[in-house]
Amino acid sequence: MGDLRNCRRCGKLFVYTGIPLCRQCIDEDEEIFERVKEYIESHPKCTTMEVAEALDIPMEKILQFLREGKLELSKENTNMLLGCERCGRPIPTGRYCSECASFIEKEFMKGLKRPGLPQRREKERMYTAHRRKKD
């Protein structure tokens, strides 16, 4: 049997599958997402506040969908702004603009290299039986 946890939103006990919400809360989120998506498509000039008021949902939920990448703003959605969390530039979805995401990735990769540690030599590598040359 899987790992049992309490739903982060409603508190019900459920089998954890990698998402901290029970099936009912996930289904509710999907239903809200579909409503938001349809509203934005049919009202391309609307603001985040207008969507929240028209659908009677928290504005944070709309921003969550945008940050998660579930929703993406089209060029027509000029009144809904989502800013890069690093530089503040307008972005259509996610948390970072492409330039900041690239910078963060490069810095992360630099951290993985850890300067000052000796690089492993080829002969220090471990080989398994199927990789050895046969005589």
Per-residue pLDDT of 81-131, as tens digits, reads: 788 999 999 888 889 999 999 999 999 888 777 666 555 555 566 656 555
| Structural domain span for residue 80 | 22-111
Q: Residue 129's pLDDT is what? A: 58
Q: Residue 109's pLDDT is what? A: 87
Domain of residue 51, CATH code: 1.10.10
Is 23 a residue whose pLDDT tops 80? Answer: yes
Is there a domain that residue 122 lies in?
A: no
Mean pLDDT of 18-28: 93
Is 77 a residue whose pLDDT tops 60? Answer: yes
2 neighbors 14 (Cβ within 8 angstroms) = no
**How far is it between the farthest Cα atoms of the chain?**
75
Tell me the CA end-to-end span of the chain in Å, nearest whole number.
49
pTM of the model: 0.66
Is there a domain that residue 5 lies in?
A: no
